[in-house]
Amino acid sequence: MNSLATIIISLILLVPSIPQSYGDDQVKVLSYNPTYEIWFFLPDGRPKWVSPNVEKAYFEARGNGGVCYKDDWYYCKTGEKIKE
C-alpha cells in the first residue's frame, strides 16, 4: 500500500500541469506570412487590422525585437509606442 501511494504521488508530480489559458492581458508579437500575405500574433491569434504605420514599423524592426501588441502597438525591444 505504501509503495502504491509513492508511485501515485510520483506520477502526479511528474505529469505536467495543464497550461493556463491566456487572457487579453497577454503581450502578443506581430508576425507576417508573405506566402499567404497574412498577419498573425505569436503565440496565437490574428489582428483585426494592421495599419500602414504598424506594417512599416514591423518591417523596420523585424530583426531587432519586432512589434508587440497589448493595449497599443509598440516596439518590443524599446517599448516605444507606434502611432496607428
Q: From first to last of the 84 residues of the chain, give the pLDDT tens digit.
A: 677 777 777 666 666 554 555 556 789 999 999 999 999 999 899 999 999 999 999 999 999 999 999 999 999 999 999 998
Q: Is residue 7 part of a domain?
A: no
Count of domains forming the chain: 1
The pTM of the full predicted model, rounded to 2 decimals, is 0.69
The cell for 54 is 504598424
3-state SS, one letter per residue, for the chain: CHHHHHHHHHHHHHCCCCCCCCCCCCCEEEEEECCCCEEEEECCCCCCCCCHHHHHHHHHHCCCCCEEECCCEEECCCCCECCC
Q: Is residue 48 part of a domain?
A: yes
Whole domain around residue 32: which residue ranges?
25-84
